[in-house]
Amino acid sequence: MGDERSEREYWDDIMGSQQGIFGNDAPSVAGNSAMTEFANARAVPTPEGLAISLQCERDGRPQTVVAEYPELIAIKYGISPHIAYGQAVAQGHKIPYLNGPATQWGYDPNMKRWFPNAACRCGAPIQPRISVAEAESALRAAQAAPWIEVAIVTQLSNFCAKMAGR
């Protein structure tokens, strides 16, 4: 009973001084609070591709999904990377800058964004959304770095543009 009373007094003090947890001095939910930090993904171009860091919504573990540059080129042209490169990889062709088979991607028509079919170790889907503009921006950064050759971007762009035209 004594512990319960001292706890209540502690929280009464905080609740009174801040008008509750969302008082004027408390962090804003719309600002940089933990609630917004949890939901936000951070994307950074790297030599391997666009590294997207976020937390699993189920267990809170930090996750990183890498969208490789050929995948971003396919997204730029509105094609799922798996469809763009899947048959070529299955036939033994090597797609430059693509490590292994292309990940299957989905498209969210409401948000007009692409997402990889990735999962956390707990089994929850990890599906950060990527817009065409974000894909293009990451590709420009990779070319400027230079992490990907302009000739390869041109070659894969021509390939994806033809597929998009079908």
Task: Give the length of the chain.
Answer: 166
The residue type at 77: Y
pLDDT given for residue 162 in this prediction = 93
| Structural domain boundaries in the chain | 29-165
pLDDT, one tens digit for every residue, the chain (166 residues): 455 555 555 555 544 544 444 444 444 333 343 334 445 789 999 999 999 999 998 999 999 999 999 999 999 999 999 999 998 888 988 999 998 888 889 999 999 999 999 999 999 999 999 999 999 999 999 999 999 999 999 999 999 999 988 6
Longest pairwise C-alpha distance within the chain: 75
pLDDT given for residue 8 in this prediction = 53
The values of phi and psi at residue 107, to 5°, are -130, 130
Cβ-count burial of 107 within 10 angstroms (0-12 exposed, 13-18 middle, 19+ buried)?
Answer: middle
